[in-house]
């Protein structure tokens, strides 16, 4: 009997997961229900935000309409950070809203220990800052931060995120290497999933690996590097 019940549960489990994800999508998309979900999320321990991220980060990546504009708020070491949720970029915005705490959670726990400990860092340098989801955790806690990334589209999002929260950001559109050098590079559209591109065309792996070489000299910070 027990094995029969287990078999039924196992058979229906994918549908149950899809139903839960659909309910979360509907709740987050609704401007009236979103604050309720956000309040429940706010009491999750940091380690449990990883499970939330794993389950729900991509529920708006289907391209369908339905997201009401607004924001999502997270708290890190007692400091609040508000992330935009926009209908025209719902997939990206929601993914980053869950990732800011829930992605690489072991690293976020290390950050929290540093910020709460007796030896708070005097400076945070974020090499490859992407959308700024690591940098802003330090900026929000009053730590001087220098963010380095060669992708200007990512940097624009990062700057807008800081501005929306009243934070001052130092963002440099450069990459860092061990010597001055010119390199070929490609810029993928913001929000493009590299894994999706590689899955479509596996032979692109080597090409992308060769072209995603971003090298510039750290002296660019002083305005002297060849870009």
Task: Tell me the angle at which helices 2-29 and 34-42 cross, rounded to the nearest 10 degrees.
Answer: 120
Query: ∠ at Cα 138 (133, 144), nearest 5°?
Result: 125
**pLDDT tens for residues 178-204?**
666 665 554 444 444 444 443 444 344
**pLDDT tens for residues 23-76?**
999 999 999 999 999 999 999 999 999 999 999 999 998 777 789 999 999 999
Please state, in angstroms and rounded to a whole number, the distance separating the CA atoms of residues 221 and 203: 37
Whether 101 contacts 46, CB under 8 Å? yes
Report, at the CATH architecture level, how domain 2-175 is classified: 3-Layer(aba) Sandwich (3.40)
Please state, in angstroms and rounded to a whole number, the distance separating the CA atoms of residues 40 and 28: 12
pTM of the predicted structure, to 2 decimals:
0.75
Burial 71-96 (b: 16+ CB within 10 A, else e): bbebebbebebebbbeeebbbbbbbb
Please state, in angstroms and rounded to a whole number, the distance separating the CA atoms of residues 42 and 195: 30
pLDDT computed for residue 10 by the predictor: 57
């Amino acid at each position: 009997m027990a094995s029969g019940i287990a078999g039924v549960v196992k058979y229906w489990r994918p549908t149950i997961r899809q139903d839960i994800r659909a309910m979360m999508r509907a709740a987050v998309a609704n401007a009236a229900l979103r604050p309720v979900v956000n309040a429940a999320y706010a009491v999750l321990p940091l380690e449990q935000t990883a499970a939330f991220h794993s389950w729900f980060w991509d529920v708006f990546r289907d391209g369908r309409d339905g997201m009401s504009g607004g924001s999502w708020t997270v708290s890190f070491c007692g400091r609040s950070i508000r992330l935009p949720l926009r209908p025209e970029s719902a997939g990206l915005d929601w993914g980053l809203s869950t990732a800011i705490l829930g992605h690489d959670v072991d690293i976020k726990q290390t950050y929290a220990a540093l910020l709460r400990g007796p030896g708070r860092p005097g400076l945070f340098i974020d090499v490859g800052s992407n959308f700024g989801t690591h940098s802003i955790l330090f900026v929000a806690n009053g730590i001087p931060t220098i963010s380095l990334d060669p992708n200007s589209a990512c940097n624009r999002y990062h700057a807008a995120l800081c501005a929306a929260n009243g934070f001052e950001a130092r963002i440099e559109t450069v990459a860092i290497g061990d010597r001055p050098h010119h390199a070929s590079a490609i810029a993928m559209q913001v929000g493009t999933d590299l894994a999706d591109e590689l899955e479509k065309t596996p032979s692109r792996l080597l090409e992308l690996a060769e072209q995603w070489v971003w090298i510039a000299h750290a002296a660019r910070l002083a305005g002297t590097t060849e870009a």
